[in-house]
């Protein structure tokens, strides 16, 4: 069965390019959203297997959109695709329920690996992001030990 994907990003060229690559790789892109509110509405309506979302979007940011999408489409998985490496963004969207975080400078092959991991109920973090998450977690653990 073909996996269905919703792409949420405010940049049209990115959405169209991503759609072409995903469809070439055998995925079915069921819709595109150019803002967070549209992403939530489409996720609720279409119940995609995975939503690939940016964090910085108009009307509703990707963190709050993720929280709402997962409430409206609980079987969907969310994979963040962003340029932001700051811990606030990374931890914010993971705490909202995203199953992965990938940087926009990644190669398409890494995105494909991330999608497949997330669809298998695994967490996927870009190597550059993994350091942010681990560092933050170790900081929390260190402060609890004191």
76: nearest Cα among 121, 111, 123, 33: 121
Tens of pLDDT, residues 77-114: 999 999 998 888 999 999 999 999 999 999 999 999 99
| Per-residue CA distances from 38 to 6, 7, 111 (Å) | 11, 11, 23
Torsion of CA 18, 106, 113, 48, to 10 degrees: -40
Rounded CA-CA distance 125/123 in Å is: 7
Q: Which domains does the chain have, with CATH numbers?
A: 4-145 (3.40.50.2300)
Q: What mean pLDDT do residues 70-78 have? A: 97
Tens of pLDDT, residues 25-66: 999 999 999 999 999 999 999 999 999 999 999 999 999 999
pLDDT at 136: 72
Tens of pLDDT, residues 120-137: 999 999 988 888 777 776
The answer to whether the CB of 3 falls within 8 A of the CB of 27 is: yes
pTM score, whole prediction: 0.90
With b for 16 or more beta-carbon neighbours within 10 A and e for fewer, the 13-30 pattern comes to eebeebbeebeeeebebb
């Amino acid at each position: 069965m073909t996996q269905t994907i919703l792409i949420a990003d405010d940049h049209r060229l990115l959405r169209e390019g991503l759609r072409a690559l995903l469809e070439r790789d055998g995925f079915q892109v069921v819709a595109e959203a150019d803002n967070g509110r549209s992403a939530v509405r489409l996720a609720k309506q279409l119940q995609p297997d995975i939503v690939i979302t940016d964090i910085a979007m108009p009307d509703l940011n990707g963190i709050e959109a993720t929280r709402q999408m997962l409430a409206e489409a609980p079987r969907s998985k969310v994979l963040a695709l962003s340029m932001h490496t700051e811990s606030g963004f990374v931890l914010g969207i993971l705490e909202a329920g995203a199953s992965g975080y990938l940087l926009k400078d990644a190669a398409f092959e890494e995105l494909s690996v991330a999608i497949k991991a997330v669809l298998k109920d695994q967490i996927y973090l870009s190597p550059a992001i993994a350091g942010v998450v681990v560092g933050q977690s170790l900081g929390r653990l260190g402060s609890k030990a004191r």
